[in-house]
Amino acid sequence: MFTTETLSFLADLRENNEREWFQANKKRYEAHVKAPALAFIEDFAPRLHSISPHFLAIPKAQGGSLFRIYRDTRFSKDKTPYKTHVGVQFRHEDASRDVHAPGFYLGVEPGASGVGIGMWKPSGPALKAIRQAIVDAPDVWSETKQALADAGLVFMNPDDVLKRAPKGFDPEHPHIDDLRRKSFAVKGDLTDDEALASDLGERVEAIYRHSAPLAHFLCESQGVAF
């Protein structure tokens, strides 16, 4: 569904990240980025629901699974107005109630496409709940990590951890390296050819399915259904 025109537009946007250029090329964005992204989301819904019926695939740019192309620059030093990648997130159904839960992510970007699964920098209470779940079920956590390793999925930002054990947790715990994590999300890379291939949905489904033990573990830690 994505094509070389998708990557070409995103590469051009990276070099011309300004409103005047974007407005002049908006038809390219609509045809080669937004339209195929929405089509992918709609087509992928049955695959997602075969993994878990509690995650949403909504083919909408406003209030749906497709991230807006516009950057929020209010609190950023980087004032470039547009994102230079396609971002799709399949959120948990309970996320609309401000409930913390894992999500499934797909990003398409020249030379940097990939998928992500999990919880990125969750709030303090949500993070504490994940850590407690690891302490309460260390064997399940070990099996979860092994499943991720077998699938070639690696934790994102492995160096973004606490210097010491989190308050209230044993610094000698066998999973102390994981208890020190600030995020519980894994990633899998996609080449440009894989991102543009006709079997992208099948490929993404396979990665999500391999990561399901992590999504399941995180859902249980937050008290939401998987």
Domains and CATH numbers, the chain: 4-222 (3.30.930)
What are the tens digits of pLDDT across the range 24-39?
Answer: 999 999 999 999 999 9
The closest of 70, 64, 127, 93 to 103, measured between CA atoms, is 93
Averaged pLDDT for residues 89-118: 93
The answer on pLDDT for 170 being more than 80 is yes
Distances (CA, A) of 25 to 28, 68, 126: 5, 16, 42
CB atoms < 10 A from the CB of 190, how many? Answer: 21
Q: What's the pTM value of the predicted model, to 2 decimals? A: 0.94
* 8 Å CB contact between 117 and 211: yes
Q: What is the pLDDT of residues 42-97, one digit of tens each?
A: 999 999 999 999 999 999 988 999 999 999 888 888 899 999 999 999 999 998 77
What confidence tens digit (pLDDT) does each residue in 179-190 have? 999 999 999 999
